[in-house]
Amino acid sequence: MKKTYKLEDLDCANCAAKMENAIKDIPGVNDCSISFMAQRMTIDADDKSFDSIMKKAVKACRKIEPDCTIIL
């Protein structure tokens, strides 16, 4: 399953790259890309565990960029 989400308050491109790498390391994630300029995240992950993967992705993003919000 591939979905795109809007990001709010993503402050730097370096943080976006760190968030992208952290999400790619989550088991079940096939691919992830974060566009700093567009403030969007596209994630491709297993259908069966997509909800739990998104919870882990939100947690990983909060750790790197506490002010950033993923609009689910």
Is the pLDDT score of 10 beyond 90? yes
- Class of domain 2-71 as given by CATH: alpha beta
Tell me the DSSP string of 9-66: S---HHHHHHHHHHHHTSTTEEEEEEETTTTEEEEEE-STTHHHHHHHHHHHHHHH-T
Reading phi first (left if > 0) and then psi (alpha if -120 to 50, else beta), residue 28 is in left
- Report pLDDT for 72: 85
Predicted confidence (pLDDT) per residue in 28-68, tens digit: 999 999 999 999 999 999 999 999 999 999 999 999 999 99
User: Which pTM value belongs to this model?
Assistant: 0.93
